[in-house]
Amino acid sequence: MQISSFLAEELPQVAADAIVVSVWDKNDDGALELGPLADQINQLTSGLLKRLIDDGEVSTKSLACTRVYEPTGLRAKSLLVVGLGKPEAAEPGLAFRAAGAAAKTLADKQRRTVLFALDLEPQDELVAGAMVGSLGQDLYRKQRTLFPFESLMIVDGDPNLLMRGHVLGDAVNLTRRLVNAPANEIYPESFADICVEQGERCGFEVEVWDRERLEQENCGSLLAVAQGSAREPRLVIMRYQGAPLDHAPVGLVGKGVTFDSGGLSLKPSESMLDMKCDMAGAATVLGAMTALAQLQTPANVVGLVGLVENMISGTSYRLGDVIQARNGKTIEVHNTDAEGRMVLADVLDVALECDAQRLIDLATLTGACMVALGRSVAGGMTNDESWYADIAAAAKQCGEPIWQLPMFAEYGEHIRSSVADIKNVGDGRWGGAITAAKFLEEFVGNRPWVHIDIAGPSFNDKAPPWVDAGASGCFVRTIVQAIENLA
């Protein structure tokens, strides 16, 4: 999608397939106020916009989209009015969502030029939202349902913000595309190849560990999960240097289970169907790396993804097996479907060795997190409240919901084993999101660490208004924002 700017004065002259305008709902005093651009469009159309709102033909409710065909006074074929809800209720992230909802509505057919004349900021979020909203999950259909615009024009666009929006939109869409692609296409080796490609395109170094190297490195825990699959595992280390070498890097760690059958603790079909999404953490790390490098963020970042396929076969790891992780701890396997933590155990240990002084991991780790928080909210867990506050602040800025779960020492008792140092599940299902995090905590040393369980928000069964169903690309923007905030 080509992104460019035009001047507000040119609004009546520019020929476009559609113009997008935004309208706030009545404020708490009952007054309807049009923003400057909506007011300009209202005047150009001889008061049409206001009349349609007054008549109830155009909704001002948050994210409502109404089309007005052939508006007189404009050289556009149609006007799309996106509601913003009450000004008092506006929250960060509204620009991304409103742009996404408008773009998704207009993406129903091929369009050349769409003008964005929204009374809403920031512009980078508008651009990113439009790029995400107009790209569908139907990667393999002859008859597409959504068509990205050829060209998007933003009124009085700031070149830096347009560029940032373009980079973020591309990054979120890369993550979405990888998560939406099925496991016969995205497997450890092909995912690692894409990391290499992206490193060359965006400017970060990529190191790939194959099975042999993983064996030399004693990554027993990751290898145990991988051993049931015909696909060989990979661990990818991506290094972006945007600051002097003596600045310690932030470590981003992603769960990259390219398919999770559950292994011998086999999942039933309904639960297995969407398990191509189980590499969303790794795809989020890769997406964030591409954005950070392209934006030349003044920070050092090391991204690590553990790539395996969790399969059932004669070579699968078994219940009761005792595995030694890279950091020396022994793990008794109680459930082969609790594989994400087995993979992350070794990847986190490698991150420590890469000198990451602060860690964030992203993982579609537990169904229990969705039971606790619902489908659209990520679970946050930490060993360091101040590092968590930084991440939560960035998530708030981006409008990506996350809610903290406690890490009381008591939960650590649930993963004690009578034969090994720890076991890979808690006692029963209670507190499953937290006992999983307690397991991970065993592998982060004493470094500040935030674990983000994205099992819910990374993949939407039902489409929200601003993006197609399927992969959401959640937390790419938050991670980039968090690292920019540090720099």
Active site residues: 267, 341
**Alpha-carbon distance values, 262 to 224, 336, 339, 444, 460 (Å):** 13, 6, 8, 25, 21
d(CA 83, CA 60): 4
| Cβ closest to ligand BES, residue 78 vs residue 364 | 364
Cα-Cα-Cα-Cα dihedral sign, residues 380, 467, 194, 4: negative
Q: Is 453 in the site for Mn ion (CB under 5 A)?
A: no
Q: Does 361 bind ligand BES (CB under 6 A)?
A: no
> Which range touches Mn ion (CB under 5 A), out of 119-127, 144-152, 257-265, 454-462?
257-265
Nearest to 128 by CA among 3, 310, 30, 315: 3
401 closest CA partner among 377, 380, 382: 377
Number of neighbouring beta carbons within 10 Å of residue 380: 20
Nearest Cα neighbor of 183 from 254, 258, 256 is 258
For the chain, the 3-state helix, strand and coil shares in percent, each to the nearest 5, are 40, 20, 40
Please choose, from the candidates 36, 17, 157, the residue with its C-alpha nearest in 3D space to the C-alpha of residue 74.
Answer: 17
Q: Residue 346 interacts with Mn ion (CB under 5 A)?
A: no
Asked if 260 touches Mn ion (CB under 5 A), the answer is yes
Residues near Zn ion (CB under 5 A):
257, 260, 278, 340
Stretch that binds ligand BES, among 208-216, 300-308, 321-329, 359-367 (CB under 6 A): 359-367
Q: Contacting Mn ion (CB under 5 A), which of 17, 119, 309, 337?
A: 337
Query: Minimal distance in Å, beta carbon 337 to ligand BES?
Result: 4
Binders in 321-340 for ligand BES, by CB under 6 A: 335, 337-340
**For Mn ion, the closer CB: 368 or 422:** 368
Applying CB under 6 A, which of residues 23, 181, 202, 368 lies at the interface with ligand BES? 368
By CB under 5 A, residue 170 contacts Mn ion: no
Nearer to ligand BES by Cβ, of 244 and 268: the residue is 268
Structure tokens at 247: 């600045």
Number of residue whose CB is nearest Zn ion: 260
In angstroms, what is the minimal distance from the CB of 208 to ligand BES? 23
Say how many Å lie between the first and final Cα of the chain, rounded.
29
Interaction mask 236-265, ligand BES, x per CB under 6 A: ------------------------x-----
Copy the structure tokens of residue 406: 């406690």
Residues lying near Mn ion in the complex (CB under 5 A) are found at 260, 337, 339
